[in-house]
Structure 1
């Protein structure tokens, strides 16, 4: 019947399913999944009791799962609320469809609902069917790990944030338990096993003795899980990361490659998150703040935009130095902007810093670095959550004339930022030429592309559109559906710009947010945004905004001044021909209420000026290194501290009878090894002194033999260390006190024990070399031996645990009761 294996298989599935917890709100899905696992296990037991072949066992377990789902989610359409009918199956199919729609619409954790719960329960139940079939019926426990791994991989693939190590440890422990149970069953069925007796009293029976297998498997399993959990935290480059995370090599020496999962994967989830949470707030001396950029994505492989691997060295740290100059920014007018940014405490895994482009200096604690080409700010180990930092940026103010008259870009810029995959359809290339027909410069081409997306092309901003996953999706967006959100608009404009020969990339970060009543700008999760940046020689990388804004689009998106249409009177001023228009929402005329309000607040002092922004936190040692250093010091100090604690506890226990009502304690002679010794429990004090002598001798390298009598031990110590004079007399008195405490009816008076220990301790230190003395102080071998013995006892306790042993213990307890 394999009842044990069935139970372990169900338990392994349950433990693996716990990794789904970050995907859903509430715990309803977990209880429903547990019911599905129990139903499948019951179906498997029934199939084996009926001795059905393996080909028929799977349909039985699937039928059990279907009955459970019917009872749980469609009882009104079922026969007698139990037997599935076409109506109940239709109801289940409808709920599954609703669950898929909710999963595609909402970011994790998905809100509770019958469809989502059914979807999770169906997945867990299907995995339970496969595990039961493979591990129990076909006796292939190792392949049963594949569906368990698939169950664990779902949240790892959907969520950008790494799963909790506890979830992994539980799932791994369940799989290892399944392997161990299967091996135990196979050993019990092979050959003529050696039998052992378990339990006691009546009902004892012989069974295969697999205790050595259980012990070995349990030790290996615990070691494997511990290594799998701890190694990724200390080995460079394998740290699990989230949406804003990166992984790299070593952190200090040499160059290393830094990569991140697709940054745009998290964009839609931020935009569709149910709670519009505050991501950060900031103060700035810029009356019209620009976007806060996180990523610059310069590579398009036909499926998605991402950035080139970053080569990070210690020289790229931002602390206390000016950052590299913005590429290509040579002739355009610029001004410095100072921004004080405070990232919310609940923001996790943000290892890239949001900052206005182009940052020239950053003041922040921790190991933060800059990519010299893109000026992205990132860390190999620190997190921006809860941090405040200052960013000084160089903001370019190119005019339309400067952009229109820009010369050709450098060869390395063209080579890197015009690269396109070979699968771009010809209709898309023709569409780019058609939209920009009649343009006299690359700047006019960019303006015509932007106007086509925001006004003339008939595009609609729609968060319900699926994220593009290839060139065909972008073609559908450009030529058929024309529905999407900022990712499609930015990716499409950047691709079409490259088709036209304009160096382009996609930037991702946040819009400037909204101005609060206290003069601080507030950026929320729905301000997450993507936009194209185009390169013009002399001005460098400049932002364009093809995404519609306002109530029908990205509500806080704005068009920069250099990308706004020229007024009819050409809008030129005396200050170099710069248009005076402030950034305005895209998709129509500027809305006058937002930007003038920002200027008024600045003029009245509501928005902090450069001199008013709080000073950034001084660069200091990284918190991670400090924590690691403190941990190392704590570990190094553990043996010494344990030795001191053991000494004090030993003397305190010996003095307990005195505190309980014995004669008043006598004052000691004043030493440094132990508390004053009283003449209360003379035997207990003698034993404590002898134990202290034993530990002191072991710490100083003396060969201590537990079988020696006190007199023999004293003689061995004297001969091995060459003691003489007062030390020999003190050692003899300690041995005599221990002998009388053991064998004499009246122990020796304890008056000199403490002083004798001090004399012997000093003699030990004088008789050994300096290295041995320091080892006795910092890493006393007696304490290390005690720690090892404690570890062996703990392992022995774990080895002794088994279902049989626990059951026998419970039976004995019941009999005693």
Structure 2
């Protein structure tokens, strides 16, 4: 590459080398909110510069397409640290891990962008997609501008990059009007200038036009109301996992109390006072269990990028969670989570979160000993005075199949309530009048579960007895029955007075990770469940219908009294009946009551199956021969041109003769073959004449100038079938069936069959002279 050639190219195409990379970078601006990191700028600007360098080198050295492609692959690999900075040394020098990550990112980064919640950050190889878009868009645009006769078409490259960036971005459209208007005007002016329609003296006016258009577009975007949400792929795609694939955690409520009542299930450092740990939000009921729905907003879980929420406000609580006897896919969360940092990489790679419900899950599941740090904001619960008069929020919830007793009991409890809050409180206080029991040894009997039968027994039995599982499930169903939206939440509640929070003044409000001081051990006895109802302006508000644990039901059992009965003279017992004499002959014994011996049936079936299986094995070669001949016959009749199908019909007749043991002389014409077969089998004269006619019709259909129609072909095959039936009658049934299962015709090479297997499509005048003479003699 000479310095003069490069300098000349820069002088002639300096505007192209500035405008086109700028347009590509403007097209990638919609990706900014999705990544939320400065590494995106480095990846896109670096990719654009590298693409420009390869395009200039290709134009100066006049590389072909394959050479340009090879150079692009080498450059992308050598500079792969731009796409995976976290795997490079110092974020600059690529390693083998960097190259491997970017290689995988070429395929996987597109999916990660639309399935991971923003901000995506720079972890892994998620920057590979914008890196490739900047590089490829700039390379294509400059190559078209520098090496083609229509340089204005180069604006198509950034024009294609823009919709891809919008689809991969977020619904946030801040600055989109300014960027879009400015980019469109710059591209339009440049394209007209490169096409020779804008003189150099008017470039200043064009620049003013671009500036005014960008400002005007920004002003319109600032004052105009939004026309609707931007359509992006992350809002259209439904990524895994589906929470319906996992069992309801509420179904295992009693196992915590029964198996780990005094054992630490979770240990939380930094837990604020009077704070509940949220495990799962359940809003779907199918008559058996409350579960997480897969159709409403609560069932949408997304991958987490750099953190759960884009911005981190002050005053967040920092908690350190150590998993004890807990095991499951649901990740215990507190308040409104902003960020989660797992110690085990397997958990971070499989973590999904639902921002609306503040819950998370990991597809690989938590195990004892796992730890993670959680940044969360405390959620304040509104008072009744604040809720009074507030309308219920309208939220999408799946239909619940509640038992009839839920509606009856709810109607009885809310008879005097007029407002939604009064109705909720009436049901809550009504259920609190029940009795508490886990149903363990020494407790009042109380069955686990919260299916329709268990709820019916709770609300319609002699007394309401249960624990948080039954009362929370019942209240949510009763509220649904009277038209109030509700859901069940399962989690853990710290014992009264226990707290792991540090003294006020710490901005994180947290305990140092791993410090045992200030930690709260949550045991299986701390498992709980409650009900939440949505209010406008307040979100989901919790309610607690479970009675106090000291409300224990004592079933009253009256002491039986002794009431002496008057003595009555009893009659004497009846005389015993004489015993039956044993039969003198064993044949006289009654055998009607003896059980039938059915043990022989399975053995008989096995014997029959063995016999049938053996017969099938013996006759399988014959069945295979019949199947192969049927397949050959079907292919000959339906495949190929009409002339080939006619030739196939004659071949079927010749093969039948071969199976009967009549060899056809090699090289004989069809008419000669028909005479030889008729003479060898001593067929009746009528059948011999019919066979000769079939040979002549096969010759006519094969060597005629035109193709026979489908009707003629089907008629020929019907006559072949009739001739075969006549051969069967002529040779006898036994010989005919032996011929049908004979593999002789399957072994014969195609070249030995009479007549050409592939018809000669040459014109009639160019057919072999010998064949024309034979037809004239006939």
Same fold (TM over 0.5): no
Q: Which structure has the greater CA radius of gyration?
A: 2
